Structure 1
């Protein structure tokens, strides 16, 4: 089924949000099948079956699962298809199609996982429950196997192979096509426990390995600079939500945000920019709310209650439209353009901090008494003010909140503290007289 490919991209795996079919709950661990069930009591054999196997191959795993479930004595022989071991003269002599899985049952050579599974049940299983002899029941099992081999598995490969082995960006259209097939699979499973009826069959063994492969999570790409306050706000949100980010350093000074490849992802060529399984998004607060909605274990960071959420949104807009905007208006012309400070702009910053002081009156965090995305966003901004030595001491509520938020934010130092230091060092280098 699965033949050789080129070198894989390290750490890249695949996930589809709706791939939670009913049988996945029954077979979460592919190797866990009840071998003490009388259904799986095999005929006695006096030899060991050789199984030529590659761990990343869903068809290989399906065949090995069944062999283990049947309790057949076997010898696993790993074939590293990345190293071309399926192309050796010895392997080609055994299987001229050079595919895995392949079995050697006492000199009888067989390949193709579905054929192998049918053979093993007919040859060694106590009864025919895994592959019924009844024409109608057997036909349904065959139909599900053909659905897997001609439709489900090829569409998974069509999506995965360019990402895993050619370093291409995920194609959302291909992801959608695979998800449509999962919806069909959900239809098969409606009102029944297994894909071909109310009994486990070899069709379940074949399909569960494909679905399990699709359930693995792909790290989210984040194009960022560690010193950037908006980027640090996203890092804080990701830590709080508990999602892994694949960080892609994007050097604005070198124009890496202006390359054709980056502009194709984000025509506004801004950072942070996120790519989640082909879905591209920019603007830090939009990314933060997406991560909380998509991956949050609960709604504490971004409440679903309309009034509570509106208050969090108001604070987020206050940050981007007022506090951070006034920071940029006052400091950036000096830091990056060598301009003189304008006192009137400094007064606007002080007014913004007076607003924040009022927001915090009588409560622990900016939108209530629990940490939300608004705190994380403002935390990145206020620590940026700290980095340029802005005097926060007149704002007692802000000072107390800042200490509280730093302590409450998961992974604060890694997500924000180090980046704020980098920003401070950059400012000092750029403003040396």
Structure 2
């Protein structure tokens, strides 16, 4: 069965998948998509990936997008060493933990910095916004310090003591920074040792996939060229978001920090095994507990379809719905100040676009987000979308497929669906989308 790989070498996730394919000698037919020329917007490519982003693969008649889902799928479908994505449930969950964390921490923050410092000046011909660059650089520094102090604190690799797909994705994101003149290895001995170890173990392919990145970094020294024509290849990057700040509370206690150094929920403790990141937790529970197969199918292609949504949602449903709720309702309640109309309008536009994609693409010919049976993808999607009601937004309005899907998920999971959303309904009915003067009233 042939494998076609659609990619642009300037895309960090594309490089991670390309590196994996080369390292494991998986035969593939390369299909280069030039993002700068807009080739991802062609009608032909839209039939491969309706979201019109890279990378994507077609394996026989099976098309799949989202780099993390692709990497998991390749680990199942081809004969590769177990360390890339371990079969052992706990070892696999540890890799998943990073894969889910990185979307809005490493991926989003590093892309925002690179886009603002280097890419936008190239595309627009205007100097970078110095204030924004400084803001994003601080976020990059903070998240790379978490990589140094937490993820690599007692590990050789991001997912444990052996290299995994987590390391490929992480390294490709960090290498990208060098084009904007930022060296992620400076003053981070553990990050530096980890990157050097990867380069040594994965060469010559590591250098091969980063040849363009290294060329641009050396040639331009972090200073954007005056036009895109002076770069051998460049592209629009994934529109990323800033991580949603937590409301100060019990997650910052010393006791909870022992469970999750990132100080976020949810977290589980199964015996002596502690795990963070909701998607990683759900996958782990499906493997470890006796649950029906439809939640996270054993069949490789069905599982990949669930993974496709799970990875897409981080920077779409999750981020856009959360940022709308945060700016329209949460922050005004915390600060005691009115919401910023321009910010709310901007966040609402992004959320509307995402919900329309759920309506027109994810639910186009399916009863559920990943197929004809309910899965963990539906639980995550429904809970994100229900949250917007507290900010006075009705996600079902003008979206008949989404409305029918939400009711179907609710019906399938009663009485628990109503139980977990009781607080959402109560707040929605009491405040009508208008934030209270103080969160102490909630």
TM-score (norm 1): 0.47
Bigger share in helix: 2
> What's the TM-score once normalised by structure 2's chain length?
0.46
